[in-house]
Structure 1
Amino acid sequence: MTTAMPATPFADPAPAQRLERAAGALNANGFGVEILDDAAAARARVTDLIPEGASVFTGASETLRLSGIDEDINGSGRYEAIKPRVLAMDRVAGADDMRRLPASPDVIVGSVAALTETGSLVIASGTGSQLPGYAGGAARAIWIVGAQKVVPDLGTALRRVEDHCLPLESARTQEAYGSPSAVNRLLILNAEHRPGRGTVLLLREAIGF
């Protein structure tokens, strides 16, 4: 049985003015950004943003799972979905492809652990499989970010990773795989130097961790 995690301030959606401040900073740092009402709007927008037939990798994300975006990408047949291919591979014979395919898709879709009001994205990972694509390997990156993930600065973002995201993710992996998670790799994206490559869909509602 999963033990309920206590609520923290990091679970509260940021108010409109903080979302606007973060969006303005993201734009100044070279990211595209759209503020949307909810996960349903993000789900529809993701479909608009990804061309049919594109190779797409989805990073592990409760936001994608809860919104239905993960299933839209990996189960709809509209795209060349990379995750199902990787999961079906033999871990020894297919090791090279399991490493390469997620690193350079046409599009990578995921979420973040925190978004600062100064326009930085913070992504934590146990395995690092999604990080090469986020950092620049994918031709395009799309992040869906709930309003509760907006924090004032990088220091607060790192506290959110350790104090909020990690306990929740560890509870999930303990139930699913029998072992806790860990922040083995941490990626901080401060700016995007290729205009149009990175898009943040910032929601007014809370979703995910």
Structure 2
Amino acid sequence: MLVFILRIDRRPMPFYSGFALGLGLIAAIGAQNAFVLRQGLADRHVLAICLCCALSDLILITAGVAGIGRVAQAHPAWIMTLRYAGAVFLAAYALASARRVALGNSGLTPGRTGDASLARTLAIALALTWLNPHVYIDTLLLLGTVAATYGDQRLRFGAGAICASFVFFFALGFGARRLRGLFARPLTWRIVDGGIALLMAVLAARLALGA
């Protein structure tokens, strides 16, 4: 009876382990999270962006748990190409954010509420996700490798990591609305865009240098 109870207690562990590791990897400050935060603060296409990022993670984590990471390791040129493409995209995004700061176009003004279409916003979110080589390292390689140690319980581990992604992105995107009162002043938005520009520039440089 005691053995049976212990087995029941241990069954959820892969799920919680996957949730904890997935949350730790996703919550790190990065280009994707900065973009989701800004969209949440602006209250623009928040649901679509959160779904886009979380579903992308679902695909990548599932592939990692299935062992696709071993294929990626066998083709390092693929990761190299993504690295440089991601560096170029992040540099361009940094310049766009810096331009908003310089021109004073940050934040929300009556004439700019519809300037970013859903398609364009989703395209940026997808680029920030799929052109980032670190996302493949985190999901396909790291999460995939750890999941393999759980044997036939690896699906539970993967499910935990996927749930962490959904919880994090929806909490970040919709939780940001509570901070909108702090962003009523254009100066605050310029500070945010300045921080995003600096972050994107640093990440672009790190990608280009292979750091």
Query: TM-score per shorter chain, which class?
Result: under 0.3
Which protein is richer in helix relative to its size? Answer: 2
Select the structure with the greater relative contact order (CA < 8 A; seq sep ≥ 6): 2
